[in-house]
Every structure is written in C-alpha cells, then in structure tokens.
Structure 1
Amino acid sequence: MVFCHMSLSPRIIALLLALLIAGLTMAFLAFVPGTTGSMLFVVGTSSFLLSFFLVMYTIDILVYREITKLYDAIRRLKVKDFSISRKSILKTGNPFKKLNDEIFVYVAKKQREIDELKRMEQFRREFLADVSHELKTPIFAAQGFIHTLIDGAVDDEFVRDKFLAKAARSLDGLDALVKDLVALSQLETGELRMHFERVDMRQLIEEIFEQLESLARARTTSLRLKAPQGPIWVKADRQRMTQVMINLIQNAVKYGNDNGRVIVALDEDGKKHIQVSVKDDGPGIPPEHLSRIFERFYRVEKSRSKEQGGTGLGLAIVKHILNAHKSKITVLSRLEKGTEFRFKLDKE
C-alpha cells in the first residue's frame, strides 16, 4: 500500500527512473574493458542527477503547467461553486485524477440541478394548466348566469333570484380559490409567518366540531374526540392549526361514507410531543394515489370532488403549515377500511 501511494508522487517517479537509468548505465559500462570504479561513480552520479532533473522538468512542463492553465480557464469561467483549488491539485500525488474527480463531482451536481429545473418547469406548466382550469369553471358559470339575466331573465323574479344565488356561489368559490392560492404561495415563499403560542388542542377541536356540526349532520356522520381529560397544551399558530384541523376533519366528513364516523385522537408521544390523528371509516384512498394527495389540485375522484366543493388546495396547505411547525403529516389508508392522517406537535 505504501509503495502504491509513493508511486503516485512525481518526485518518487523521477527518483525511481533516475536510479533505473543510472543503474543501467553503470551496468553497461561495467562490461566495458578498462572502466574503473571512479569512472563508474562519476557516470552513475551524472546520469542520476541529469535523469532526475530532466524527468522532474518534463513532469512540470507536461503536468503542472497544463493543470495551472486548466485551473485558470476554470477560474475565468467564474464558476463560483467549483470547489477546487490550485494548491490542493498540485499537492496531490496524481493531479490529473484529482482534477478529474473534482470535475466529475461538479458535473454530477450541475446535472442534478438541471434535472430539478426540468422537473420544476414541468410542475410549473402543470400548475398553470390546473389554475387555468380551476379558474375557468367558476368564472364561466357566473358569466353564464349573469348574461342570462341580462338577456331578459331578470324580469322573472324566481329565475332572477335563483341565477343570482348560483352566480354568487360561483364567485364565492372563486374567492376561496384565490385566497387559498395566495396563502399557499405565501407559505412556500416564507412570507406567511407562524405566530406560535400556547394552544389547547382539546378546546380548538371542540370548537371546530361545533363549526362543522351542520355538515356532519347532513352526512349523518358522528364526530368524536378521543383525548385525555383536561387541557392539552401544544406550541402552535392557533389560526393556522385551526385551518389544518378544519381541512382534515371536513375532508373526513365529505369523503367518508354516509352514516359514518370521524374520530380525532390526541395522544401523548413521549415527553415532548402530542400526536394528532384524524380517522374516518370511509372508502379509503387507492394506494396509487397516496403519494400524490398533497399535491396542488390533485383529486382522487375528480367528479366526486367537484360535487363536494373545495379548491383542491386544502391538503397542500395543510402540508406546508405543518412543515412550518417542524412537523410532517403521514397518511394511512386501506380500501373500504378508512383513512387516517397523523402528525405531531410540540408540547407546551
């Protein structure tokens, strides 16, 4: 191993070659009649020194100067994140290998960046297409109702009230979509700051149950909280955590079965965390959809989702809010057995 490492050093290479040349020269002269020991010594020393400096000079010309030129060329490119230095190259036993390794790492890094840019470009195109589609639906609906009224239906009181109510619902849906888009954009860019405080999760969930009581009653779905007695304090942004829980519980009611049950559980997870789970006994989510349900506008059943309302951004917003709480949401689902969302919050 020592020899392999030494053989990579230019000085060792020059030394070995010089010794070999001097040895061969002396061996050849030893067979010449009349050659004395003094002559052999002078010839051996001369050939050794000459060979050593000649080899070192050749290596310097062919290797180090060319590497220096290459390094200067790289520096002229102003590649700021090229983490190579002239000193580290020249000190290594095999400078070409060092340079090649550094360039390989750099190229691999740039390739990953290019792949990520391509992925983001594809995501941007899909997002713009989704936004355009989602915006067109309520706009065209409202336009249709209003133009029908303008064309004369306004004189019929029953039709007028009915169409105005439908137009208002379409515009309300458009308003909700724009608000969710703004909130999601602010969450992703970090503009929307979390205001952490001491929050009683039991009280927060009970208040949400009251808000969603009419929705649950319409689906004949029961809402149940499983938690230890007394307040359950966590460190969270109350407004954003309310948004998270409303989204999860509302989805459980909407997409669960009629006459179903939604259970929200709060459990201690060690000394530092509270685990929050929202579980329904609905039809479940097919396995092929589980990895994508937190994407913007992704719907498992598009037709049914449209009927149930919503902007298609709820779970994406939930994910980003929980990320801002240093938490990660997971989902467990089995067909015809229901779906469960889980995440953890820091105790307060």
Structure 2
Amino acid sequence: MNQTASVTHEKDLRDAIEERKRIIFGELRERTHWFIRLRWFVPPGIVLGAVLADLLGFENLPIGSLAGTAVFIAVYNAVFYLIGRKKSRGIGQRGYIRNLTRWQFALDYVSIFLLIHFTGGIGSPLIFFLFFHIIFASILLPVPSSYGFATLVVFGMAAISVACHTGWLTPYSIAFRGRSLDFSGLPFHMAMILGFFVASVYITAFFTSSIMGMLRKRISNLVDLSENVRGLNEKMNALYAVIQAVGTVKKLDFVLKMVTSELCQVMGVLGISVKLLSPDGKFLHYVSAEGLVAGVFRSKVVEVAKSPLNRQIIEGKPYVTGKVNPGEMFQFGEDLAAANVESVLFVPLIAEEKVIGILGAYCKYQERFSPDEVEFFRQAAGLVAVAIENVRAYESIEKIMEERRWFMMRVAHNLRSPLAAVISILDVVRGGYQGPLNENQSEYLRRVDRRVHTMLTMINELLALAKSREERRKISFEPMDLSLLAGRIQRTFQDEARQKGLNLEILVGGEIPFVDGNPEMVEQVLENLVSNGIKYTPPGGKVRVEFSRGPKETVQIQIADTGIGIPQRDRQNLFKEFFRAENARMLEEHGTGLGLAMVKEVVDQLGGRITVESEEGLGTLFVIQLPKSGKTAKV
C-alpha cells in the first residue's frame, strides 16, 4: 500500500455508489419501457372492447371517437418508443427517466379522460382504470408527483362532470339494453359518485405512497447495511493479515510495513504510524509510518517527559480528537498541519499487560473516528503488539542460537587439535615405539583409542552440522550430475563393504535429470546413510543405493539395507540431534546421533524431502526426493 491509500479507498466507494445508481436507473428505465411495451396492447384492446360491448348489448357507443382515441394512443406511444430506444443506448439519467414517466402518465390521463367522456362520463365503467395509474404513479414517482397526478385525476373528472352538466361538453349517453347510463341530468348522483371517487383516489395515493416510502427506506437501510458489512469484511481481512504476520513474518521491519499498509488502506486515512518505547521508557521512536505522514515522522524521536499526550496514552488511555490543535499537545503539530491532518487517533500497544508503544492514525477530515473505529483500532493494536513481541522473541532466540552455534564451533575447534594430538600419541605408544606392551596395557589403550576416535567423530559431525546451518544463508546451488556422485560413493565404500562381507550395489536408472545443489553437501548426506547401512547390517547382508526419476519432477535416491531396522517407537525422533535408536545403541555403544540430523538439515536446505520405512530385524529404506534442475545427464 502507498500514501494514496485513502484516496484509493474514497474512489472505490464512489465507484460502488455509482454502480448502485446505474443499477437503480436501469431498473427505473426498464419499468418505464415496460409501460411503453404494455401500451401497444391498448389500441387494439379499445377496438376489441367496443366490438365486444356492442355484441353484449351496449347502445349508442361512439365507435369513431373511440377508434380515434386508439390511434392517438398508438401515435404518442410510438414517439415514446423511439425516444426510449435512442436514450437506452447511453447511461440513463434520473431526470430523463422521470420526465419520460411524467409525460407518459399525462398523455395516458388525457386518453383515459377522452375514453371516459365517450363512454358516459362520471357513469362510465372505465373510471376504475384511473386507479391503476394512481398506483403506478405512486410506485414510480416521488410522493409530490403521486399526489399531483391524483389531483389531476380529481380535477379532470370534476371538469368532465361539470362541463357535461352545464352543457359545455356534449354528453355521450350510452345505454345497456335500453337502460341509460347518463348521470348528466342527475346532479346529486353525480356529486355523490364524484365525492366517493375523490376519496378513493387520495386514499389509494396515500396508501401506495406510504408503502413505497417504507420500501424505499428499507432498501436504503439494506444499502447502508451492505456498506457496513463490506467495511467490516475489509477490517476482518486486515486483522487476519496481522494474525498471519504473528506466526509467519520474522522480521520487524516487514511486520511493521505490512500492518501499517493494511490499516492505512482499510481505514481510508492519510497515514498510520508506530512508535515504540525505549527500554528505559523515556523515549518513543517512530519505527514505521505509512501514507502521507511517512515523511513527517521518519526517524523522529519523542521525549516522553515533554509530551503530556504520549504520557496519557502510555498509561493505557486511547486518545482521539476530531480537530487537531497544533500548539496544544502535539510535539510535531506544525508538521501535522502541513500534512492537512485534522483528526488523529492514538491507542497504546499492549503486550502481556505492558505498554510497548503507540499506534496512531491520521485523517484529513474533522471528527473522522467513530466509537466503532476506535474499538477496531484498539483491537488491531493488540494484534500488532503481539506481532511485534513475537518478532522480538524470535530475534532473541535467533541471537541465542547464533551464540550457541558460535560456542559450539569454538569448542569443537579448540578440542579437535588436542584430540588429534592424543590420537597421535596413542598411535606411537600402541606401535611399541615407547617400549613393549603387555596384553592388559594393549587392551586398555585400545579402549582409550576408541573413545578418543568417537569424540573426534562427534566433534567433526558437530562442525559439519554447524557448517551446513551457516551455509544455508550463504551457499549458492548449481546443477549437479548425480551419476558422478554415484561413482564416488561406489569407490568410497566398496572396500569397507567387502571387508564386512556385504553386497554393495549402486544403481543409476537410465537418464536422470540434474538437481540443483552443492555436490559436497549431497555427498555428505549419502555417505552418512550408506555408512549407517554398512555399520548396522550383519555380514552376508546387502546395501543398495538407487538413483532414478521420482514423482512430480523430482529425482529419487533410495538407500536400502537388510540390517537391524529401526523400532517403530524410535522413528519419530530419528532426525533429532543426539538421538540414537535403542537397538543401534545396543549394537554399537559409541555414536553421536548427529548424522541423521545433518542429513535432514541438508535435504530440507535443498528443497527436498526424506522419508523412512523400516521393520525391526529386516532392514531400512531411506527415500530422498530432490527437485530436478533444467539440465539432464546421460548415463
């Protein structure tokens, strides 16, 4: 994340709002066009209705006037269709949609008033179709427009009734099987019908508008809830990233960079800072900052005694303000003002009930941080503190391990030379150069020689193990030909195997790929495993080493023997330092237990894996799989 995180967050929010607007406008436009499509059925419906009414016994129907009204509806609907088709190619606008809807309702009312007038005025059965338009207007238009159209209906019907009664309009008196439906000569009946009609129109408009108002409010609440859920999801993701860092990231700089970037983005603020308390508690060091404040606080130090604000936070109290006063409590108030910071939020970093620093957030808007955001930031600070303490603990362990390795190497180096001198002296004495030895003296010196050689072997393996761990950070790998290594293993152990009466087989299965590694390290691995196989296999047995292609782009090395095997209970500890299986200790008293630990270290360093299969008394199979390189070797 960079210093434009807050700008990016605002842009994403605007884009999301615009997307919702486009969806809403699209729905409104679709409903408006649905009326246009529905209206195509009205003209033929009018003609068909007139014919059907005539067949049912209605008399004096003005067929010509009704047909003319049908043509009028078809013409203005065609105009609306062409306008809607042209506008639908672009992005709909709220004004265009509402204006198109209003014009449709207005012309529809004119058409309905004409049809009502031509079919008996206030006594026309078509008067009930006006209620459908009142309902549609209340659904699609704002409340004022809904009541406006309701009023238009009332005035329209009142005007038709008055005009027919006073003779301004010629009433169309239709009849049904000889019974007239004309009320123009009955003013009381007209007034009663008109009164009930007016009440029904406004009641319909009121209830429909109220229901739509509640629906719109619910939709608005759902949109707000959706925004809240999205914000909570982003915050949960940020907290999850911090939790992941607790267990995986082992460098303090990386942890601080990650958490400040995540929090800066998810909160949409100008910046995030981390201050850590010095061991003596007198100073706060800015160790990380993200966003626009990164340049303001880089490498700065706060003297706690001179900062009442920071002392308050170190005591465990969060601090939030919606209007920064540069001269009140802030040591770098001028810098905050230059960065346009208006709101700040500080919470203590607490690990194991001890304050180790302060986490801060900065925003350019006043009154930016709500109680919910303060609580989220406090929880995030708790995780950040745990991550920092975890990294510090890891660094302390690494330092101890480094000192341990240094001590091990130092002691081993200092012991190897005296032991070599002791072995040389023993060789001189046992060789009779200092005089003849009796049988007891020879046996005693032989036992001393074995112990000294065992100690020297342990020292050499300790040095090799420490070297492999040291080279893990330094060594560079290169493609290596395992077929050449197979030949060296054959030459190294063939005489030892023959002297013990063992059958040693080294097999290379056809053309095998190169592997990326260090020849000396891989050879050391194989020497350890083959040496153990020979050591723990009785005379007449067999030791086999096979190189072949393995599964999933790997090269496989199998080292099998027919020796004493490994007890089931000892296998889980087989690759631990200084561990030896129980039957191995019984057969060979002296041993270091470092060989297999070094084997596992090297295989892991090469990016491979090692598995073991064994049955006590029948033998052991070690399988090593190493990732192949791009080159191949022909055998």
TM-score, normalised with respect to structure 1: 0.60
The alignment partner of 2:573 has SS state of coil
1:289 aligns with 2:545: no
Residue in 2 that maps onto 1:333:
614
- What residue number does 1:52 align with? none
What residue number does 1:94 align with?
Answer: 372
Structure 1 gaps, min length 5: 10-60
Alignment of 1:3-152 (within 5 A): 3=225, 64-65=320-321, 68=345, 70-71=347-348, 79=357, 84-87=359-362, 91=369, 94-106=372-384, 108-109=386-387
Distance in 2 (alpha carbons) for counterparts of 1:227 and 1:168: 39
Q: Which residue of 2 aligns with 1:157?
A: 436
1:103-156 C-alpha deviation (Å, 9 max, x unpaired): 34235546766987789989x99xx99xx9xx99xx99x98xx89x99xx9976
Q: Which amino acid aligns with 2:492?
A: Q
Verify: 1:187 aligned to 2:462, yes or no.
no
CA distance in 2, matches of 1:192, 1:173: 30
Q: 1:73 to 1:211 in 2, by over 3 A?
A: closer
Q: 2:504 aligns to what SS in structure 1?
A: strand
Contact 2:543 2:560 in 1 (8 A): yes
Which protein has the larger Cα radius of gyration, Structure 1 or Structure 2? 2
In 2: Cα distance, 1:289 partner to 1:341 partner = 15
Which sections of structure 2, spanning at least 5 residues, go unmatched? Answer: 1-221, 232-316, 323-343
Call closer, same or farther: CA 1:97–1:285 in 2, change over 3 Å: farther
Compare relative contact order (CA 8 Å, sep 6+) and give the higher one, 1 or 2.
1
8 Å contact 1:71–1:86 — kept in the other structure? no
184, 206, 223: which one pairs with 2:504?
Answer: 223
| 8 Å contact kept, 1:282–1:339 | yes
2:345 and 2:362 in contact (8 A); partners too: no
In structure 2, the residue matched to 1:22 is: none
SS at match of 2:437: helix
Deviation string 1:299-327 (CA, Å, 9 cap, x unpaired) is: 112633643x5432111211222233222
Q: What amino acid is the match of 1:265?
A: E
Match of 1:196 in 2: 478
- 1:174 maps to 2:455: yes
Aligned twin of 1:49: none
Cα distance per residue 1:12-60 (max 9 Å; x no partner): xxxxxxxxxxxxxxxxxxxxxxxxxxxxxxxxxxxxxxxxxxxxxxxxx
**1:329 aligns to what SS in structure 2?**
strand
Alignment RMSD (CA, Å):
5.1
Q: How does 1:264-343 map to 2 (within 5 A)?
A: 264-269=545-550, 272-301=553-582, 303-304=585-586, 306-307=588-589, 309-343=590-624
| 1:261 counterpart = 2:542 | yes
Cα separation, 1, equivalents of 2:612 and 2:520:
23
State the distance in 1 between where 2:591 and 2:378 align.
54
Contact 1:186 1:192 in 2 (8 A): no
Counting matched residue pairs gives 284
Letter of the structure 2 residue corresponding to residue 157 of structure 1: P
Find the aligned partners of 1:337 and 1:174 in 2 and give their Cα distance: 30
Residue 489 (structure 2) aligns with: 208
For residues 165 and 85 of structure 1, do their structure 2 counterparts lie closer, same or farther at Cα, with a shift above 3 Å needed?
A: same
Q: What whole-Å deviation, never above 9, does each CA across 1:276-307 have from its counterpart, x for those lacking one?
A: 12122334323332232111111112633643
Taking a change above 3 Å as real, the CA distance of residues 247 and 264 of structure 1, as seen in their structure-2 partners, is same
| 2:532 alignment counterpart | 251
The equivalent residue for 2:516 is 235
Change (3 A) 1:174 1:100: same
Structure 1 pair 4–344 and aligned structure 2 pair: CA distance change class (3 A) = closer
Partners of 1:327 and 1:62 lie apart in 2 by: 50
User: 1:245: how far off?
Assistant: 0.6
CA distance in 2, matches of 1:62, 1:186: 50
Change (3 A) 1:113 1:291: farther
Distance in 1 between residues matched to 2:597 and 2:496, nearest whole Å = 22
CA contact (8 A) 1:289 1:300 kept: yes
